[in-house]
Amino acid sequence: MTSSKNVVPEARAALDKFKMEAASEVGVNLKNGYNGDLTSREAGSIGGQMVKEMIKKYEESMK
C-alpha cells in the first residue's frame, strides 16, 4: 500500500510546478485542481516526461 502524502510537505509546490512544466512540454493542457478529463495517454505522457527530466538531471549531476 502506498500513500499520496509527500515525505517533505514543502515539496508539493515544486512538484506541481514540475508537473505543469512537463505537461506544457508534451502539449497537454493541464489545469490546477481536478484533471479527470485527461486521457490515459495524456496523463502517461506527463509522467513519462517527468521521469525523463529527472533522469537527465541525475545524469548531469554524475558528471
Secondary structure (DSSP) of the chain = ----S-SSGGGHHHHHHHHHHHHHHTT----SS--TTS-HHHHHHHHHHHHHHHHHHHHHHT-
Per the confidence metrics, is the pTM higher than 0.75?
yes
pLDDT band at 12 (very low <50, low <70, confident <90, very high): confident
Residue 3 pLDDT greater than 60, yes or no: no
pLDDT band at 57 (very low <50, low <70, confident <90, very high): very high
CA angle 55, 15, 62 (to 5 degrees): 25
Cell numbers for 38, please give them.
485527461
